[in-house]
Amino acid sequence: MSTINIKRQADKKQLEQDGVMDWPIWEKEVSNFPWTYESDEHCYILEGRVTVTPDNANSVEIKAGDYVIFPKGMSCTWEIHEPIRKHYQFS
């Protein structure tokens, strides 16, 4: 199974050049929920902090400034510690 790919403190100029700042925004309050990715998701975390725990894998912490790629087919649990706001795109 593929793993979560995280680029810490992504370069904002590069994100703007790649059009990331034009992607839709998703927001979610402090909560805990399961999720399965039906396609790859690319996202850039604008605000907040979350721990994502893939089934049968180690958890990762994701926070503001991170660019993240979640792989298609991954099932996981999201534990949002601080309200999340992110740009996202499915591919």
pLDDT at residue number 16: 94
21 φ/ψ sector (left φ>0, alpha ψ -120 to 50, else beta) = alpha
pLDDT at residue number 56: 87
Q: Indicate the domain borders of the chain.
A: 5-90
Which DSSP symbol is given to 39? S
**In a structure prediction context, what are the per-residue pLDDT tens digits for the chain, which is 91 residues long?**
468 999 999 999 999 999 999 999 999 999 999 999 999 999 999 999 999 999 988 999 999 999 999 999 999 999 999 999 999 999 9
SS3 for 89? Answer: strand
The answer for residues whose C-beta is within 8 angstroms of residue 74's C-beta and 6 or more apart is 1, 2, 4, 36, 37, 54, 55
What's the CATH number for 5-90?
2.60.120.10
